[in-house]
Amino acid sequence: MFFLYLLITVMPLSRHPLWGRYVGDMTVFKYLGAICVVYAAFHVLTRGRFPSFLGTWAARFFLLFYLLAVESRLTHTLPSTDLTVGPLVSFTSFLLLFGVTLTVVDSVQRLRRVLFVCIGSVAFASLYVIREWQKYHHVYAGFRPGWVTGDPNYFTATALLSAPLAYYLLLNRRSLKERLFCLGCLLLIVIAVTLSASRGGFLGLVTAFLFVVWHSQRRLRNIALVSLLLVPLSLFSPVSPLRRLLTPTRSDERGTENRLVAWRAGWKMVQAHPWAGVGIGNFKPMMLEYREEGSTVDSMAHNTYLEMAAELGLPGLAVYLAILGSAYWTLRQVRRRPLRSTPPLARHAALALQAGLLGYAVASFFLSAEYQKLFWFMIFLSMCLPALRRPGAVLVEAVPADAAAPPPDYPAFPTEDWNATIG
């Protein structure tokens, strides 16, 4: 499992000089993923049985989506493209990650470790973002850090997946060390997200936290905590998403205009190729043909859903939305299971993952986010949770030695009535 934990840790660091370095035909990150595949195969052999890869609708839709991506790449490849790199390789990597995740995350203890590694990985990436701002913010006004993490917008989208998890485990874990870890990570993530100043990501972050607050028992307290986390930094930071929303600069306005150009070009692609699309990975090369006359914009769609519809057609978009919807539904079902049959950690993880995916879905309206590694890992993690409530799974979490009394969010004697209340 060490190699999987390391893989998760470096997922947000898409431009890291070590993990992104090519050794032969692959990056160090891909070699690490290959080791995880070998470990997963060994784990299956030693355990003696295969996981249920088709146990959830999200898994079935993901496999269908992969087949659509392969078919699209093989039938729509442009002369200047190479099948050995690009979207097809990325989705093949996600397919392998799908198999690894469903194979090795097979117990509550492993789920617990994976969740904390996910939180820690984004907090670790946040240190890079904060350091970049510290070193280079004087270069020009409105500097937004995020080179090592790929882009400030993509970093924020990734942070949306872990921030609700850190927040919810902070409120509901019984170990003092775990709560302090979540608090420290959450503060780092919020600071880094503020400095990244992603407007769409900020809207997603607010959506995610409002979802968590709405599904908590102490809504007024939690809305106060969320406001204390988000508002002061956004108001007083020299660069923040709230400032960019309320008082956009000329550069911000130009970015908005470029997005509108890309959206109109994408809509023309959908109208011209509604069923098969222009081919996965071909949106940017086809911009020259579909953008407005006189425009010089040459970019991705800056809208995940529009890009899916343009590249894979409306059926491809429908399958992508089905993955999101079925993953959300699976998590909802896990959260609503009777308390006596579901580990508390799985229930908490289900709610936090719902919030993260909802926030990510909002942010995806403003960027092409279908290739983010941690997003797909969270989707695959949602497929693991139902198995942890079946007969034979470990249903009782080990209580840490330093465990304190249950926090107020835990009822003294869980009942089915409380289950209906949080649902």
Instruction: Find tokens 């087949």 and name the residue.
Output: 67
Q: From its phi and psi, is residue 20 left (phi > 0), alpha (psi between -120 and 50) or beta?
A: alpha
Residues 29-51: tens digit of each pLDDT: 999 999 999 999 998 888 877 88
| pLDDT score, position 416 | 32
CB atoms within 10 A of CB 274: 13
Residue 419: pLDDT band (50, 70, 90) is very low
> Are 381 and 105 in contact, with CB atoms under 8 Å apart?
yes
Asked if residues 80 and 285 have their Cβ atoms less than 8 Å apart, the reply is yes
Most confident of 42-56, 87-101, 205-219: 87-101
| Average pLDDT over all residues of the chain | 85
First vs last C-alpha separation in the chain: 33
pLDDT higher than threshold 90 for residue 153: yes
Q: Report the b/e string of 287-298 with b at 16+ CB within 10 A.
A: beebbeeeeebe
Find which of 21-30, 259-268, 412-421 is predicted with most confidence, using mean pLDDT: 259-268
Instruction: Return the pLDDT at 78.
Output: 65
Report percent pLDDT > 90 for the chain: 53
Q: Which sign does the torsion angle of CA 240, 132, 365, 227 carry?
A: negative
Query: Does residue 161 register a pLDDT over 70?
Result: yes
Please tell me the least confidently modeled range out of 110-114, 254-258, 409-413.
409-413
Residue 422 has pLDDT above 90, yes or no: no
Share of the chain above pLDDT 70, in %: 89
Using the predicted structure, report yes or no on whether residue 280 has a pLDDT greater than 80.
yes
Mean pLDDT of 47-64: 90
> In which band, very low, low, confident or very high, does the pLDDT at 399 lie, cut at 50, 70 and 90?
very low
- What residue type is 144 in one-letter code? R
When comparing pLDDT for 311 and 251, which is higher? 311
Which pLDDT score is estimated for 348?
87
Q: Which residue has the tokens 């924020």?
A: 156
Q: What is the pLDDT of residues 224-244, one digit of tens each?
A: 877 777 777 777 777 788 888
Q: What is the mean pLDDT of residues 358-382?
A: 94
